[in-house]
Chain A
Amino acid sequence: MDLNYGQEYEDFRRELREFIKKNAHLAPPPGMGIYHPGPKEQAWQKLLIDHGYTCRTIPKKYGGYGGEADLLKTVICQEEFASANVNAGLSNQGIGMLVPTLMENGNEAQREKYIRPTIHGEIYWCQGYSEPGAGSDLASLRTHARVEDEHFIINGQKIWTSGAHFADMCFILVRTEPDKPKHEGISYIIMDMKTPGIEVRPLVTMTGAAEFNETFLTDVRVPVENVVGGRGLGWKVANTTLKHERGMLGDPAQMMSRVESILKIMQSETLDGKRLIEHPMYRDRLVAAQAKTEALKFHSLRLLTSSLNDQDPGVSRLVVKYYGTLLARELSDIALEALGELGTLYDGSPHIRSHGSWQWRNMFDLGLIIGGGTSQIQKNIISERGLGMPREPKPAESK
């Protein structure tokens, strides 16, 4: 057990802290990334890339910093921006999913064309994966394309396309080889959202906001050169980055800041004239969730160690999405329930607390338990891949 990062890294951390202190006034507020970056976001992003504080390992020729892969520096960046509560640079599906996919599976022309504007916030991407009939069983997707004069002609419907109403581009999974088995008939295609035939309708969720969209595709013409990794290889290509998405949702720094926020509520709000924190029934729940939060924090250090040593942590990694999303929801439950009736106020009501953001988070947390592989799918993965338990047999073909 050695929790020192070493001199080189502590130097890096110190420089980063000085950088943040000196430049934080230039940073846009930290956000969820569901908006098109404007000039302020783009300027901040450029400053961070120039210093190697984001997009560290993207080669210079694609507009990145061109640093060597160094997980600890990436982690230090996350830690320092989070603890200073300063915007850590753009975080969206283009940067998180499309760019790593192109780095791994794209051709040179695609990398040159798309990576630089994506990481600099000039191109915003949406993800065209899920369909009304293809959620957990994504590979059964039915949006399809035929080929005519060097173009895919795409028809079908996608759902959960967050940001589609302002996105410039979409990376989309389309069935291009209808005669092949379901996993082998899919292609990963880059599509310009200005192409005729794309209709985006907002999808209002239980929160009352339209965080997502439905996207309808009617005879959308996309050049065949826009396929990534080759026709029929889309499932494999998409999975290289889906793995990435599933690992993302157990962010301990975010949980720790939630514990702090709930503590502040419990220290300032009262019930029957007594601060909430003085009531054991609420205090006990907060400490119980704090234990899980601390566990997740040290668990992520354990996983980081595995990555640094090129070891597969097995089941230890597989539990993170499940554990993290449930914990996030548990925390927002505690905040709301400690507030009692006040916790139910919404839409700018009198007496509302934190602009209703805990209610919004609590509902959105439920969305995160479902999205990116539901808890039930996670439990299949944990038990099958992590514990070596057998798969559920397929039902016999019905006649």
Chain B
Amino acid sequence: MEFGLSQDQMLLQDSVRRFTENKLPLDKVREYAAAKTGFNEGVWKGLVELAATGVLVPEQYGGAGFKMLDAIIIQEALGRTVAPAPFTAGAIMAPAALLSGGTEAQKHEWLPQIASGETKFGVGVTEVISLREGKGVSLSNGKINGNAMFVIDGGPADIFLIAAGRDNMAIVPRNAPGVTVTPLTTIDKTRAICEVGLDGVSADLLGGTDKAGGAIKQAIMAGRIALAADTLGAAEVMIYKAVEYAKQRKQFERVIGSFQAVKHMCAEMIAELDPMRSLIWYAAHAFDEAPDEAMLNTLLAKSGIAEAGKFIARTATEVHGGMGFTDLMGLHYWYKRVTVNRTLLGAPEILRNEAAIAQGWIAA
């Protein structure tokens, strides 16, 4: 019995955290966010060198062949440093989709490019989770039509994986005829979300026509675990920034961290966060090792950390007082990352409804 990270996983955690912390001090975060590209060559190259981009790609396709728990260790480190890297879609969702539903030829074509970092993926599955406008994306007569909204990591992507209904997933090169890409600027400038318009696009379909239902589900599940880990990292850093600030900021001739009004806020934050870490670890573990439990635990983990994250983002900002509200302190980059993660791939209310369905509490 060993519930937690292995020695190897702790080493991985150390090396990724060392890299991201070194590469992404606040002035760099600010600079990259201002660029709004959701991408930085140096950060991406470093991740390639750490073999992070191929973390989920099997060795036969040039990757590390690791598991989801390893992948979210990396994602958490990226969340901690609000890193501008298209990792969630490119290194977690895309390989999950390809491995689950890709033909041998598709895996052979794309997985090595994912591992080497030379091709970046954006993933558009919003329409099968919560459709807000329009009719979504559809496939008819072999052509893809519609608009895919909130395509994750779409800004810097070379290739899009777009769900066309529940059973088809199109592999769409950015420069294919009929494709238009419109940036959707969210409050979080560290990542580039976009809208992909598809007007009669001919595209290779993952696994063939009507064969991608399982792959879409798998990609969504993988993405939700990743975003949960990203929030975990970002929110934990917010707590420790608040604690450090409260230990040095003085008012009324005392450090404010000695006031119970302030330190109780810090205690509440860590109490909300820490048990969720255990649940997120388990969801990632179940993704590979206990598939029957993966869906429910993913839904509970992502909705649970979203609620904890919302509370922490607000409370950590309050602990910083007026400074927390300023750009100078820069805390808002973490606040915004957590806030956007909350809604991507399903806001908590949507996920809890799915969880009730997944357990048979209500009909689908």
A positions within 8 Å CB-CB of B: 1-6, 9, 72, 263, 266-267, 277-278, 280, 283-284, 287-288, 290-292, 294-296, 298-299, 301-302, 304-305, 308, 315-316, 319, 322-323, 376, 378-380, 382-384, 386-393
Q: Let me know if B69 and A379 touch, CB within 8 A.
A: no
Measured in the bound complex, the distance between the Cα atoms of B297 and A304 in whole Å is 20
Task: Place the interface of chain B in its size category.
Answer: 35 or more
Q: Let me know if B353 and A382 touch, CB within 8 A.
A: no
Q: Let me know if B355 and A278 touch, CB within 8 A.
A: no
Q: Let me know if B300 and A290 touch, CB within 8 A.
A: yes
Return the chain A residue nearest B351 by Cβ: A287
> Nearest 8 pairs between A and B by C-beta?
A291-B304, A383-B263, A379-B267, A382-B267, A287-B352, A291-B300, A298-B278, A301-B3
Q: Could you tell me which residues of chain B, from 120 to 154, have a CB within 8 Å of some CB in chain A?
A: none
Q: Would you call B215 an interface residue if the criterion is a C-beta within 8 Å of the partner chain's C-beta atoms?
A: no
Min CB–CB distance A363 → chain B (angstroms): 23
Q: Let me know if B4 and A383 touch, CB within 8 A.
A: no
Return the contact of B304 from the options A295, A305, A308 (Cβ within 8 A). A295
Q: Could you tell me which residues of chain B, from 262 to 292, have a CB within 8 Å of some CB in chain A?
A: 263-264, 266-268, 270-272, 274-276, 278-279, 281-282, 285, 289
Convert B326-364 into 0s and 1s, putting 1 for each residue whose CB lies closer than 8 angstroms to a CB of A. Answer: 000000000000000000000011001101100001100
Q: Let me know if A1 and B258 touch, CB within 8 A.
A: no
A278-B362, A283-B352 known; 5 other A-B pairs, CB under 8 Å?
A9-B1, A288-B303, A304-B3, A319-B274, A382-B270
Min CB–CB distance A73 → chain B (angstroms): 12
Return the chain A residue nearest B239 by Cβ: A387
CB contacts (< 8 Å) of B349 on chain A: these are 284
Q: Let me know if B361 and A389 touch, CB within 8 A.
A: no
Measured in the bound complex, the distance between the Cα atoms of B19 and A30 in whole Å is 54
Measured in the bound complex, the distance between the Cα atoms of B138 and A271 in whole Å is 39
Measured in the bound complex, the distance between the Cα atoms of B282 and A302 in whole Å is 10
Return the chain B residue nearest A278 by Cβ: B362
Measured in the bound complex, the distance between the Cα atoms of B348 and A207 in whole Å is 35
Min CB–CB distance A302 → chain B (angstroms): 5
Measured in the bound complex, the distance between the Cα atoms of B285 and A378 in whole Å is 31
Q: Let me know if B353 and A299 touch, CB within 8 A.
A: no
Q: Let me know if A376 and B260 touch, CB within 8 A.
A: yes
Q: Let me know if A296 and B275 touch, CB within 8 A.
A: yes
Measured in the bound complex, the distance between the Cα atoms of B1 and A6 in whole Å is 7
**A contacts with B: majority SS:** helix
| Cβ contacts A to B, 19 pairs, < 8 Å | A1-B6, A1-B285, A2-B1, A2-B2, A9-B1, A283-B361, A284-B353, A287-B353, A287-B356, A288-B307, A291-B300, A292-B304, A294-B300, A316-B274, A323-B272, A378-B267, A379-B260, A380-B267, A386-B267
Measured in the bound complex, the distance between the Cα atoms of B329 and A255 in whole Å is 41
CB contacts (< 8 Å) of A287 on chain B: these are 300, 303, 352-353, 355-356
Q: Would you call B108 an interface residue if the criterion is a C-beta within 8 Å of the partner chain's C-beta atoms?
A: no
Q: Would you call B115 an interface residue if the criterion is a C-beta within 8 Å of the partner chain's C-beta atoms?
A: no
Return the chain A residue nearest B279 by Cβ: A295
Return the chain A residue nearest B263 by Cβ: A383
Q: Let me know if A1 and B4 touch, CB within 8 A.
A: yes
Return the chain A residue nearest B297 by Cβ: A294
Return the chain A residue nearest B242 by Cβ: A387
Q: Would you call B91 an interface residue if the criterion is a C-beta within 8 Å of the partner chain's C-beta atoms?
A: no
Q: Let me know if A322 and B271 touch, CB within 8 A.
A: yes
Return the contact of A392 from the options B260, B274, B275, B297 (Cβ within 8 A). B260
Measured in the bound complex, the distance between the Cα atoms of B285 and A294 in whole Å is 14
Return the chain A residue nearest B288 by Cβ: A1
B positions within 8 Å CB-CB of A: 1-6, 69, 243, 246-247, 254-255, 257-260, 263-264, 266-268, 270-272, 274-276, 278-279, 281-282, 285, 289, 297, 300-301, 303-304, 307, 348-349, 352-353, 355-356, 361-362
Measured in the bound complex, the distance between the Cα atoms of B275 and A4 in whole Å is 21
CB contacts (< 8 Å) of A72 on chain B: these are 1
Q: Let me know if A305 and B2 touch, CB within 8 A.
A: yes
Min CB–CB distance B165 → chain A (angstroms): 26
Q: Let me know if A319 and B275 touch, CB within 8 A.
A: yes
Return the contact of A379 from the options B258, B263, B281, B289 (Cβ within 8 A). B263
Q: Let me know if A283 and B263 touch, CB within 8 A.
A: no
Q: Let me know if B274 and A390 touch, CB within 8 A.
A: no
Q: Let me know if A298 and B352 touch, CB within 8 A.
A: no
Return the chain B residue nearest A320 by Cβ: B275
CB contacts (< 8 Å) of B285 on chain A: these are 1, 3
Q: Let me know if A291 and B279 touch, CB within 8 A.
A: yes
CB contacts (< 8 Å) of A283 on chain B: these are 352-353, 356, 361-362
Min CB–CB distance B246 → chain A (angstroms): 7
Given the contacts A283-B356, A291-B301, A302 and B264 also touching, CB distance less than 8 Å: no
Min CB–CB distance B280 → chain A (angstroms): 9
Q: Let me know if B263 and A389 touch, CB within 8 A.
A: yes
CB contacts (< 8 Å) of B307 on chain A: these are 288, 291
CB contacts (< 8 Å) of B246 on chain A: these are 389
Given the contacts A1-B285, A283-B356, A389-B246, A294 and B279 also touching, CB distance less than 8 Å: yes
Return the chain B residue nearest A390 by Cβ: B258
CB contacts (< 8 Å) of A382 on chain B: these are 267, 270-271
Return the chain B residue nearest A284 by Cβ: B352
Return the contact of B247 from the options A1, A2, A319, A390 (Cβ within 8 A). A390
Return the chain A residue nearest B4 by Cβ: A305
CB contacts (< 8 Å) of A391 on chain B: these are 258
Measured in the bound complex, the distance between the Cα atoms of B274 and A319 in whole Å is 8
Measured in the bound complex, the distance between the Cα atoms of B2 and A5 in whole Å is 9
Min CB–CB distance A49 → chain B (angstroms): 25
CB contacts (< 8 Å) of B266 on chain A: these are 383, 387, 389
CB contacts (< 8 Å) of B270 on chain A: these are 315, 319, 382, 386-387
Min CB–CB distance B361 → chain A (angstroms): 5
Return the contact of B258 from the options A263, A267, A389 (Cβ within 8 A). A389
Q: Let me know if B69 and A1 touch, CB within 8 A.
A: yes
Min CB–CB distance A303 → chain B (angstroms): 9
Measured in the bound complex, the distance between the Cα atoms of B258 and A296 in whole Å is 29
Given the contacts A376-B260, A387-B266, A299 and B278 also touching, CB distance less than 8 Å: yes
Measured in the bound complex, the distance between the Cα atoms of B275 and A296 in whole Å is 6
Q: Let me know if A304 and B1 touch, CB within 8 A.
A: yes
Of the candidates A4, A278, A287, A322, the one having the most CB atoms from chain B within 10 angstroms of its own CB is A287
Return the chain A residue nearest B363 by Cβ: A278
Return the chain A residue nearest B296 by Cβ: A294
Return the chain B residue nearest A386 by Cβ: B270
Q: Let me know if A379 and B268 touch, CB within 8 A.
A: yes
Q: Let me know if B271 and A298 touch, CB within 8 A.
A: no
